[in-house]
Amino acid sequence: MGSAATSRHAAGLGLTVLLVAGGTVACSSSSGGGDAASASPAAGGGTYTIWDPYPQYDKSSEWVKLLETCGTQAGVKIERTGYDTSDLTNKALLAAQQGNAPDVLIVDNPVVSTMAEAGVLTTTEENKLDTSAIAPNLLAAGQSGGKTYGVPIGANTLALYYNKAVLKKAGVDVASVKDWASLTAALAKVKAAGKKGITFSAIGTEEGSFQFLPWYWGSGAQLTKLDSPEGVSAAALWTDWLKKGYAPNSVINNTQTTSWQEFATGDYAFAENGTWQLANAEKAGFDYGIIPIPAKAGGTAPAPTGGEFVSIPVQKDTARYATSQKLVACLTDTANSLTTTTTLSYVAPTEAVQSKQVEQNPKLEVWVEAVKAAKGRTSDDLGTKYPKISEPMWGAVQAALSGSKNPQQAMADAQTAAASATQ
């Protein structure tokens, strides 16, 4: 995957702000599934619309070829449009209001609950989509109120990349890094050896929350109580790293892309980043490895899942659903999942395909392990409450790292704001 696609894919993770400003974008009448020109299945085929958040893939790509193949197998023509992630959310909400939704909608997993609450999506039960082979922790990201609103096309998540030469110079055996204490001890050795410790993204956006969550969840904290002792300890961990010089002050403004650029200099021991940086890691010019993010007391921390769900929006013409179901089943079946997840740089949502991925590329093994421990941001039935919690949380992290508040005060204020917003 090229650099443009890589940076785009990071955005496709669901790292956009999830508070949707609906109704702000005009929608082309020719691209909706309810277009009068589209024939119904009973009329023998017709055109079916698919919207996805992968504008970097053109007609020559494996992704678009797969969409067209699925259309051919279902006996219909595919009209596909790729939008930027945030644009797609707005356009889909507006199209639904106008009764002009696409037949198949592929959206970022935290947006599913927003779409479901707005009445935009049908359930997998209504459309008899088989989700039995999907890992429950990945499926949970598309569930709201006990119902499932789509099928995950794949997942990515976060782990720690490390520079083997930097650790060797500092006398650190990466196998010793098993929890927060041992990681912090390793960072101290790296600094003492004249190198830099760890870089990550703590920017005041959803991207910052995404990167903070493995430490937050890894402490044992729940999103419903940001100021728990566990939650405060996660904010304190990052704050202490900055105070001691184990992490640079630049993390406060770092996106995942700029954080990666710091790691790519070769000066840092560790970088928190995602599956989508694998191609860049190969080009970095130094030996690297990857370990799961450690939880506070050891083991793998639950990192948030990135990735999209394939869903079927509500249509006035319910006769269209049968063909839409065939398209979704085709895109997510085991035979095509390996192609899809490889093309999109995702870990597959089923164990059967995950095994095939690791056979093809042993470097994916650590990512499969991380995805198995991962968790949807809207899981625990948080649904549309999640963005109202995430924003105060990233604000608290910013306040703690900048020194404007201590971690305890920052998280207490965030909890007050989140509680008020989610009442």
Burial class (CB in 10 A: 0-12, 13-18, 19+), 401: buried
Within this chain, do residues 131 and 164 fall inside the same structural domain, yes or no? no
Q: Residue 410 corresponds to which amino acid? A: A
Q: Helix or strand or coil: residue 271? A: strand
Interval 137-159 mean pLDDT: 94
Q: Could you tell me the residue range of the domain that residue 335 belongs to?
A: 3-156+307-373
User: If phi over 0 gives left and psi between -120 and 50 gives alpha, with beta otherwise, what is residue 342?
Assistant: alpha
pLDDT in tens, 47-65: 999 999 999 999 999 999 9
Query: Mean pLDDT in the chain?
Result: 89
Find the farthest-apart pair of alpha carbons in the chain and give their distance in angstroms, rounded: 73
Among 97, 146, 155, 152, smallest CA distance to 125 is for 146
Cα 372 from Cα 158, distance rounded (Å): 12
Residues 133 and 254 in one domain: no
What pLDDT was estimated at residue 85?
82
Q: How many angstroms separate the CA atoms of 209 and 200, rounded?
A: 11
Smallest Cα–Cα separation from 119: which of 384, 420, 388, 385?
384
In this structure, the answer to whether residues 80 and 96 fall within a common structural domain is yes
Domain shared by 388 and 240, yes or no: yes
Per-residue burial over 94-124, b = 16 or more CB atoms within 10 Å of its CB, e = otherwise: bbbeeebbbbbbbbbbbbbbbbbebebbbbb
Q: Tell me: pLDDT of 335 over 90.
A: no
Q: Which of 53-57, 82-86, 223-227 has the lowest mean pLDDT?
A: 82-86
Place of tokens 């935009």: 120
Closest-CA residue to 84 (of 29, 140, 10, 157): 10
Neighbours of 423 (CB within 10 A): 7
More confident residue, 361 or 32: 361
If asked whether residues 263 and 409 sit together in one domain, one would say yes
Alpha-carbon distance of 107 to 82, in angstroms, equals 11
Which of 19-23, 186-190, 374-378 is the most confident on average?
Answer: 186-190
pLDDT above 60 (res 42): no
The residue type found at 230 is E
Of these ranges, 36-40, 145-149, 179-183, the one predicted with the greatest mean pLDDT is: 179-183
Count other C-beta atoms under 10 Å from residue 277's C-beta: 28
Cα 398 from Cα 393, distance rounded (Å): 9
Indicate whether 265 and 414 sit together in one domain: yes
Token output for 405: 């508040």
Q: Do 299 and 320 belong together in one domain?
A: no
Q: Give the residue-averaged pLDDT of 160-173.
A: 98
Q: Which residue reads 């927060």 in tokens? A: 180
Q: So what's the pLDDT on residue 334?
A: 87
CB 138 within 8 A of CB 371: yes
Considering the domain architecture, whether residues 105 and 19 belong to the same structural domain is answered as yes
Contact 327, 48 (CB under 8 A): yes
User: Taking the model in full, what pTM does it have?
Assistant: 0.83
- 373 is written with which tokens? 């421990």
With a pLDDT cut of 90, the percent of the chain lying above it is 83
Q: Are residues 228 and 168 in the same domain?
A: yes
Distances (CA, A) of 320 to 47, 80, 103, 153: 10, 16, 8, 21
**What sign results for the dihedral spanned by CA atoms 401, 405, 406, 408?**
negative
CB atoms within 10 A of CB 59: 10
Q: Report the C-alpha gap between 393 and 414 in whole angstroms.
A: 6
Mean pLDDT for 165-187 is 98
Total domain count for the chain? 2
**Predicted local confidence at residue 34, as pLDDT:** 37
Residues 212, 278: one domain? yes
pLDDT for 154 equals 94
Tokens of 367: 């990512």
Region class of 299: left (phi > 0), else alpha (psi between -120 and 50), else beta = left
The radius of gyration computed from the CA coordinates of the chain, to the nearest angstrom, equals 22
Is the Cβ–Cβ distance between 387 and 89 less than 8 Å?
A: no
d(CA 307, CA 117): 20
Whether residues 233 and 344 share a domain: the answer is: no
pLDDT band of residue 10 (cuts 50, 70, 90) is: very low
Whether residues 126 and 46 fall in one domain: yes
Question: How much is the pLDDT for 381?
Answer: 84
Measured over the CA atoms of residue 404, residue 408, residue 411 and residue 412, the dihedral's sign is: negative
At residue 343 the predicted structure's pLDDT band, cuts being 50, 70 and 90, is: confident
CATH of residue 339:
3.40.190.10
